[in-house]
Amino acid sequence: MGVEIERKFLVKGREWRPSAPGKSIQQGYLCLDPERSVRIRLLQDRAFLTIKGASEGARRFEFEYPVPCEDARQLLAMCQAGLIEKTRYKIEFAGRIWDVDEFHGLNQGLILAEIELESETCEVTLPPWAGEEVTDDPRYFNLYLARQPYSLW
């Protein structure tokens, strides 16, 4: 059974910017139920269908399956709400890899950092660019941002 344990933080300043380019992501939701979501994600030349359960703190069930890119493009056209567009950067800090997402389109201006953990009790050294923790704030879930973009807050 797949379980995702993830903490999420707002990013402050510009110190986080890596020299390496990020990867372009487009994603949309085929199911917008708060208790479960079904997401299609196109990550440059790869695509995934992901099913997630409701969040319980930093933990939730997650199942992810590769799909052909052409199928992903067709599924993105079927999505229920707005698409999420972002660039993802992988940044190493204190022996861990952080995903930093810089949002575009209607979510322009939002930058979030996520770290996946082995357990909810893992100690994490925060990078200096990690701002307020928003793990438990549903407004920062991609599912919410698809329906209520950051620019409309």
Active-site residues: which are they? 29
Compute the distance between CA of residue 93 and CA of residue 17 in angstroms, rounded to an integer.
12
Compute the distance between CA of residue 67 and CA of residue 53 in angstroms, rounded to an integer.
20
E-state strands within 67-146:
84-93, 96-103, 111-116, 130-133
Compute the distance between CA of residue 134 and CA of residue 140 in angstroms, rounded to an integer.
7
Task: Tell the residue number behind the tokens 């056209």, with chain if given.
Answer: 77
- Tokens for 45? 């030349």
